[in-house]
Chain A
Amino acid sequence: MSRSNIFQSIQQATQSIPAEAKTPLPDWKPGDLQSAFTPQDQADLWEVFKDRFIAVNGKVIEDTSEFQDILQSEPGSKLYVDPLVFQSIQPLAEGMNLEICQTFDVDHVDDYPISVTLAAGIIAETGTVIIKENQTSSRLSALAPWTHITLVDKRTTVYATLLDAISDLADDPYVVFITGPSKTADVEGILIEGVHGPGEQICLRI
């Protein structure tokens, strides 16, 4: 009932505007949006991504031992490793005092201080990591732990711009662009990280 009433009311309104008075749909080109993204930036998208991800308080790790230091900071705890990155991560985490888990128990989400999942993509322009439904085995595993690490490897698509990444969403049911740790400034405008999501957002490339 509501549906047809609302459509009828909208049609009445749109039809009351003379055709020649209606605003045509303007087209725009990628270049219109990228003016500050200079061509030399394109030369090494990883370097640009790194700078911009760090600028939004993300961390970038390119060194195995630095990654292992982070794992060692939570001795005796559970480490969630997405089955999609297990092959790369398991050898690095082996022998540490950690229980490596490939399933994420939603009844105990706070038992995992650290998780590692796959970066489906990165965006250089904005310093963003992309996670996609079909490349993340559990949505909550990438959200609930304090430290969320995304692995960048050859499966990770590197996008120059936000527009490029949006043009490639395909029919994935749920895609998240992550640009830094979870944050708020609700209390007196003071920046606090780690509100509901990770307080540490790390991008790992080894």
Chain B
Amino acid sequence: MKTYQPIDAFARDAEPEVKASVYSTSKAKYDKRLASLSTGFTAPDDLRKLAGQIKQHTIEHLDQYLEQAVTNLENNGAKVHFASTPEDANQTILGIMQSINASRMIKSKSMVSEEIHLNAFLEKHGLESVESDLGEFIVQLDDDMPSHIVTPIIHKNRRQIATTFEKHGLGDYNDDPETITRRARKYLREKYLEAEVGLTGANFLSAESGRVAIVTNEGNARFSISANRTHIVLLGIEKLVPRDKDLALYLNLLARSATGQQLTVYTQFLNAPKSADQPDGPEQLHVVFLDNGRSEILGGEFKSILRCIRCGACLNVCPVYRQSSGHAYRAVYPGPVGAVLSPLLKSNSYPDFADLPKASSLCGACNEVCPVDIPLPELLLRHRNKSKIEHQKKAAAGTPPLGAWAELCSHPTLWKTTLATGKAMNHLPIDKMPIPPIQAWTHSRELPEFRGGKFRKWFKQRKS
């Protein structure tokens, strides 16, 4: 139907199985989040606001905090790199690998590495790069894209995974989740030990100490920081918090908002290369900061999106996400946060993603659950305004033409006449008429009876 926005069309055509699994998993996560926040704290809303303010302060003073973090990282023995674009970041990582003649990398889950399409880049240069998060590993085997920030294979079921494992020689078909997990454990353990380089993202970086905080439930980041001689931390420039004590606040909020846990199973703090008498772990620690448009976002009306800590709570609560799944957003970051961020990233083109901010009912639930209180509905509205001013074609998809309506509204006599004839509509078979906007409405709803003109009548007769 002509009136569909791209995301509506995606949701309409999505497999019922995918829709059911996205809906039930995201709803379950939302319920767990609520329970863990309300039993953990008497005033969780105050913490959310506090966390939002600290992050907002940090990005508004990012030059100072970044300088401080870099100085501390370098004093701790890390080598710091900066990358303006995904291409720069990929080249930097390739350069690090080549400098030590490395051919294999083991990766922990990192959304920034998805943003720069690191795996494809390294493979193109003949290097192996293996995802070690179970979900990301399955995504990589399928040559697929993650569809959620925290649970990348929310769109897949066990039968699909079993088929993938069989196809890639990881054993005969078996769709028992425990067997799937054990097979991955065995296979990836060898990969950890073979790889010369480990790569992780960063959940937070404390400017005060240069300490990187990384969380995983599976233990894959721990392996990537223990089994290899060279470690790379890849992160966006906005990942900073001012003080170590702030880590306690954000770690509490992140685990609860993402998975409903009080604390993620492995919460680790990486401060420097390994100590001299420690046999395991990196002798070289590299930290790669990616910009990719973030510094431009910082200067404009969307800067508060840089507070985001990638918990995925706004995805889980969003009625549009639940109905359409992450792939409908056609980008690395799905859901409400993706609808704001994707059009702005330098590696994306604004016109291509200008429809995403329309993929929201503006119900406000995303703002209510956001652990850093990002005003997502407001940012979505700003995008809509920007798109309208710039005449972005994609942003107008699914919007019925309103020219005739505007004429009507600006001519009182015409308006009055139309109201009078409007009543006649109640006797016409409107739902059978081949007018797409009306059909789109009557397809799933009943058109209410036309009752126009009453206000004018009342207004005329009232005593002043």
Residues on A close to B: CB < 8 A? 2-3, 5-7, 9-14, 16-17, 22-26, 28, 32-33, 35-36, 52, 56, 104, 106, 109-110, 126-128, 133-134, 137-140, 143-144, 161-163, 166-167, 169, 171-190, 192, 194-198
Contact = CB atoms under 8 A, between A and B. Distances in A.
B63 A2 contact: no
Interface string B258-285: 0101111111111111110011110000
A45 to B, nearest CB: 16
B453 to A, nearest CB: 48
23 contacts: A2-B81, A2-B84, A13-B299, A25-B54, A33-B41, A33-B249, A33-B252, A36-B39, A36-B40, A109-B189, A133-B278, A137-B278, A140-B227, A173-B270, A176-B269, A179-B266, A180-B265, A187-B161, A194-B182, A196-B185, A196-B223, A197-B222, A198-B219
B113 interface: no
A182 B268 CA distance: 13
B298 A13 contact: yes
Interface in B196-252: 209, 211, 217-220, 222-223, 225-227, 237, 242, 244-245, 247-249, 251-252
A134 B388 CA distance: 59
Complex A-B, nearest 5 residue pairs according to Cβ-Cβ distance, in ascending order = A197-B219, A13-B299, A9-B295, A139-B280, A195-B218
A179 B262 contact: yes
A24 B57 CA distance: 6
B266 A182 contact: yes
Which of A24, A140, A181, A198 gathers most chain B CB within 10 Å? A140
A35 B252 CA distance: 13
Contact of B217 (A106, A109, A140, A182): A182
A14 B60 contact: yes
A176 B222 contact: yes
B245 A187 contact: no
Contacts of A28: 50, 249
Contacts of B138: 186
A174 B274 contact: yes
A26 B57 contact: yes
A188 to B, nearest CB: 5
Contact of A176 (B158, B188, B267): B267
B262 to A, nearest CB: 5
A198 B270 CA distance: 20
Which of B83, B188, B264, B281 gathers most chain A CB within 10 Å? B281
B180 interface: yes
B121 interface: no
A174 B135 contact: no
B152 A6 contact: no
A139 B60 contact: no
Nearest to B270: A174
A184 B84 contact: no
Contact of B299 (A16, A106, A173, A177): A16
Interface string B117-138: 0000000000000001111001
A157 to B, nearest CB: 15
Contacts of A144: 189
B456 to A, nearest CB: 46
Interface residues of B, number: 97
Contact of A22 (B61, B188, B193): B61
Contact of B251 (A22, A25, A162, A197): A162
B54 A173 contact: no
B289 interface: yes
Contacts of A22: 57, 60-61
Interface of B: 21, 24-25, 28, 39-43, 46-47, 50, 53-54, 56-57, 60-63, 66-67, 76, 81-84, 88, 132-135, 138, 151-153, 157-158, 161, 177-178, 180-182, 184-185, 188-189, 192-193, 209, 211, 217-220, 222-223, 225-227, 237, 242, 244-245, 247-249, 251-252, 259, 261-275, 278-281, 289, 291, 295-296, 298-299, 303
A163 B248 contact: yes
Which of A22, A110, A195 gathers most chain B CB within 10 Å? A195
A173 B272 contact: yes
Contact of A140 (B135, B177, B226): B226
A113 to B, nearest CB: 14
B63 A14 contact: yes
Contacts of A197: 218-219, 222-223, 265-266
B381 to A, nearest CB: 20
B280 A25 contact: no
B158 A174 contact: no
Nearest to A52: B262
B188 A182 contact: no
Which of A14, A52, A173 gathers most chain B CB within 10 Å? A173
B46 A169 contact: no
Given A26-B57, A174-B269, 6 more contacts: A9-B295, A28-B50, A127-B262, A139-B225, A161-B248, A195-B220
Contacts of A181: 265
Contact of A143 (B61, B209, B219, B249): B219
Contacts of A182: 217-219, 265-266
Contacts of B53: 23, 26
Contacts of A26: 50, 53-54, 57
Nearest to A146: B185
Given A139-B278, A182-B219, A167 B244 contact: yes
Nearest to A162: B248
Contacts of B83: 2
Contacts of A180: 265
Contacts of B181: 184, 187, 192, 194-195
B296 A174 contact: no
A9 B237 CA distance: 12
A5 to B, nearest CB: 6
B30 to A, nearest CB: 13
Given A10-B63, A10-B298, A14-B61, A126 B262 contact: yes
